[in-house]
Amino acid sequence: MAALSVIAVGGTEAAKLNFSGRRDTGGFMDILRTTGYHKRPPHIVAEHKSFFAKEGLEVRFDVATYAPDHNQGMAEGRWDLTLSSADTMIARTTTDGVDYLLFMQAEEGLNASLIGRPGIGSLDDLRGKLLAGDPGDSNLDLIRMKILRTHQIRENDYRVEIIGASPQRLEAFLQRRVAAAMLTPPSTQKALAAGGVLLAKAEDYVPNWPLTCGWALHSWLEGRRNVVVRFIRAWVSATDWLLQPENRAETIRLIVEKERLDVPRAEEAYARVVPKARINPQAFRSVLELRIEMGVYKPPFSSAERFYDANYWCEATGLPPPAPAGMPRQRG
């Protein structure tokens, strides 16, 4: 079959694709500029086992350390796509008016904790104190709001300084600049080892959180459909491989080696992988409901289906789309 010539995503290399979307053996690679807070297990496997390369993709990854910079960079097109939380995408779409769209879900479930510095014995001790935050109205900050409101502690009962991602929040915590911080592994363990106090676990308040999803500017997705489909296909191939029982040990070893996590943390990351990167609209609707409950999503409200397009995933996998979740429920 005749080959189709296209221009690489980075705009600097010519590439040849056959009509199936598979790479011809011409040696050219499409460049994808991606970001996120760390590489997820399927990303590591897709690199190590050449699933990206088999789809003709060179996936470049920049670690995000500060949510406002991540959000501004995505809006400006500094990166093609991000692997980060659905909540961040929903917040920036509904609050900032940036037209983002989600196309796959990489992880579900959240291992994050609210840790108080030594001397903070309970959540009530946080009244009047300074807490570490990032970015203020979404993701772990939103979950911190949920935790504290559940215990009748409102936002005007404490102060927040926007500091950065979990490693930066840990640094502020260890320097005693803040009284408490929402942290994720391995920062959680480092804070506890330094005498920190476990005040709350996120999973007790927001189960089945759509932790990591692939999303991008809607306009970019429409213009790069073939590349997005190939990226999803490579990612799904990686999930298929790593979730085979015989490949579990090697996957854990890779996570430990590449992300410098201990074995228990690597096993937790492994457990959160979503098979085939399948989209869960019900989880997105739960995010909408939490944002409404916390007062950071204002009407008019939209259904979960406004925020994702499963067609890219369906084309990549040959599977039917997920059942729609519909409109968020509002508490009376």
> What are the E-state strand segments in 218-330?
none
Listed residue (185, 191, 168) closest to 109, CA to CA = 185
Q: Which CATH architecture has domain 113-204?
A: 3-Layer(aba) Sandwich (3.40)
- What is the chain's pLDDT, residue by residue, as a tens digit (332 residues)? 332 223 333 333 333 443 334 444 356 899 999 999 999 999 999 999 999 999 999 999 999 988 889 999 999 999 999 999 999 999 999 999 999 999 999 999 999 999 999 999 999 999 999 999 987 788 899 999 999 999 999 999 999 999 988 999 999 999 999 999 999 988 999 999 999 999 999 999 999 999 999 999 999 999 999 999 999 999 999 999 999 999 999 999 999 999 988 999 999 999 999 999 999 999 999 999 999 999 999 999 999 999 999 999 999 999 999 999 999 998 75
Q: Identify the CATH homologous superfamily for domain 4-109+210-317.
A: Periplasmic binding protein-like II (3.40.190.10)
- At 26 the pLDDT is 53
C-alpha count within 13 angstroms, C-beta hemisphere, residue 101: 18
Domain chopping of the chain, boundaries: 4-109+210-317, 113-204
pTM (predicted TM-score): 0.88
Residue showing tokens 């920036």 = 92
- Whether the link from the prior residue into 300 is cis, omega within 30° of 0, is yes
Same fold, 4-109+210-317 and 113-204: yes
